[in-house]
Every structure is written in C-alpha cells, then in structure tokens.
C-alpha cells in the first residue's frame, strides 16, 4: 500500500487521479475546498478528506503527520501537487491584485509549503513528489502571465529539490506536463470573453474538434508513467 497526498481532488485531473489511486488501493489524504459524493462515501479506513483553501497564505494541516504515521514504517509516500489556477487571465496592468495573489498561493506557495510538511512527516520512508506543471512553464502564453510565472517557478523549486536529493535514493522528484485536457479549467479559458487572451480561438478549436483527452486517460498515463 502507498500513502498518497493529493491536492485539488474535486474536479478534473485531481478527481480522476483520486479515482485511479483509490482504485489501486492507496491510502489517500485528499486536500480540496470541496469533495464529491463518491469521495465522501469512500472507505474512511483508507481516505482522509482534508478541507483546505490553498489560495490563502496559511497552510494548516494538523492531521497530516498522523495520516502518514498510521501506515507501516516502510510504507511509500507519494505527494501529488495537482491543484492549480489559470486565473487571472488578462493583460498585465489590468489583473486583479487579490486574484493574482491567490493564484501565486495555489500554484507555487502551497506546493512549496506542503512539500516541506510531507518530507518532515515522511521521515525515512521512500517518497515521490510530483508537481503537475504545464507547457506554460516553458513558453509565454499571452494573457496567462501569472500562470506561466508560477508554473515556471514551481518547476525551478522542484528542480532544486531534486538536486538536494540527487545522492539520496529515498526521494524522487518529477515535474509532469499533463497537456491540455477536457476539464473545467479549459471551459473557463474558452469562456473568458472579457479578458485579453489572444489564443482563445485555438483552445476553442481543440474542444470543437474533439481533440481534448479526458482527465481519466491522463490520470491513467501519469500513474503508469510515474507511480508504477
């Protein structure tokens, strides 16, 4: 069995990852602002639902150490940073300050703080840290300045973590680009008519042509490639 900490579990890729990992028998510490009916009905012996808003500056997860210590001393630990926000979309100089700060917290600060908490609680158990990144970490997408910057910052942070453990097989770190998929985030992007976003037509075209893979297929690929 594996003890897995997963953020952003109620929608899209996070929900699909929850289902995939629960189906394979993981113990799950699921972090989200809300939870689906199926998640709330999951086996409480294997699932701990942790209500938390990662868009704020405080990360208080008092149940996390107890969850990780409840398993065998050699139980592998997995941390998946899935929660993310593409908002605010628009031109620099017009972006709402509060929404910009919230995006930085969700996409960058929360993964940094949560990683430290999990590594401290995991002790000497083998630990895998996955950061769900984006192609936006490597190329500018007009109108996504905050998202591009925070994903790029996250990749650098986790590159630094990988370097820290380069000679320690106990910890493995990876940034994963899931690609575009058919999620609520994509729907929001396509509907952002009031925001400055020159690439909107491209994303609408992907949906209209049926070229967006399902979150379930992407979740299966991530688990097979990174956690098998």
Single pTM value for the model:
0.95
Give pLDDT tens digits for 173-222.
999 999 988 777 777 777 766 777 777 788 788 777 887 899 999 999 99
Give pLDDT tens digits for 71-130.
999 999 999 999 999 999 999 999 999 999 999 999 999 999 999 999 999 999 999 999
Residue with tokens 């790029």: 152
Cα distance between residue 94 and residue 183, in whole Å? 26
pLDDT at residue 4, rounded to an integer: 98
Domain regions of the chain by residue span: 3-180+215-226
3-state helix, strand, coil in the chain (%, to 5): 45, 15, 40
pLDDT at residue 187, rounded to an integer: 72
Give pLDDT tens digits for 39-80.
999 999 999 999 999 998 888 899 999 999 999 999 999 999
Cα distance between residue 183 and residue 82, in whole Å? 13
Range with lowest mean pLDDT among 113-117, 132-136, 155-159, 205-209? 205-209
Q: Please enumerate in sequence order all residues whose Cβ is within 8 A of that of 207, keeping only pairs 6 or more positions apart, or say none.
A: 182, 186, 190
pLDDT at residue 161, rounded to an integer: 98
Per the prediction, the chain carries an average pLDDT of 93
pLDDT at residue 203, rounded to an integer: 76
Q: Which CATH class is domain 3-180+215-226?
A: alpha beta
């Amino acid at each position: 069995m594996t003890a897995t900490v997963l953020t952003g579990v109620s929608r899209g890729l996070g929900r699909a990852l929850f289902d995939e990992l629960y189906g394979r028998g993981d113990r799950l510490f699921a972090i989200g602002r809300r939870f689906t009916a199926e998640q709330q009905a999951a086996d409480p012996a294997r699932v701990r639902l942790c209500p938390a808003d990662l868009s704020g500056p405080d990360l208080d997860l008092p149940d996390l150490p107890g969850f990780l210590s409840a398993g065998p001393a050699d139980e592998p630990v997995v941390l998946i940073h899935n929660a993310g926000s593409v908002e605010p979309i628009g031109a620099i100089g017009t972006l709402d300050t509060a929404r910009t700060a919230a995006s930085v917290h969700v996409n960058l600060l929360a993964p940094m703080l949560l990683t430290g908490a999990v590594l401290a609680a995991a002790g000497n158990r083998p630990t895998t840290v996955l950061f769900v990144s984006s192609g936006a970490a490597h190329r500018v997408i007009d109108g996504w300045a905050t998202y591009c910057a925070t994903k790029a910052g996250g990749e650098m942070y986790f590159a630094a973590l990988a370097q820290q453990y380069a000679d320690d097989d106990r910890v493995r770190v990876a940034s994963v680009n899931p690609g575009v998929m058919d999620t609520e985030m994509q729907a929001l992007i396509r509907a952002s008519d009031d925001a400055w976003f020159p690439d909107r037509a491209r994303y609408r075209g992907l949906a209209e042509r049926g070229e967006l893979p399902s979150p379930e297929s992407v979740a299966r690929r991530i688990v097979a490639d990174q956690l098998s």
